[in-house]
Amino acid sequence: MLLSYANSFIDTFQGVKTQFLNTVVTDKKVREPLQSFVDAQTTFAKEMAKISNTVYNQVTEQVEKFSAKK
């Protein structure tokens, strides 16, 4: 659930960057490398969100198991 919110936020934020590039940088040869950088940022941010979500879920699961034993 949290991952979908994070991905939605990332998509929105990175979409604004893409729209900015398309509006401000009119030369395709200049815009393409910048867009590639934005795409790489998007991939990185989504992977970090995915990893964070996995860690959170595993920690929560282990804490619940530990708490249930007491």
Q: Give per-residue pLDDT as tens, 25-63.
A: 999 999 999 999 999 999 999 999 999 999 999 999 999
Residue with more model confidence, 70 or 66: 66
Tokens of 59: 């920690």
| Spatial distance between the Cα atoms of 50 and 18, rounded to a whole number of angstroms | 22
CA distance 15 to 42: 9
Q: What is the dihedral of CA 9, 12, 17, 19, to 10 degrees?
A: 180
Asked if residue 66 has pLDDT above 90, the reply is no
Cα separation, 19 vs 21, in Å, equals: 5
Indicate whether 1 pLDDT > 80.
no
Q: How confident is the model at residue 70 (pLDDT cuts 50, 70, 90)?
A: low
Structure tokens at 46: 């989504």
Q: Note the pLDDT of residue 51.
A: 97
**Using 50, 70 and 90 to split pLDDT, how confident is the model at 2?**
confident
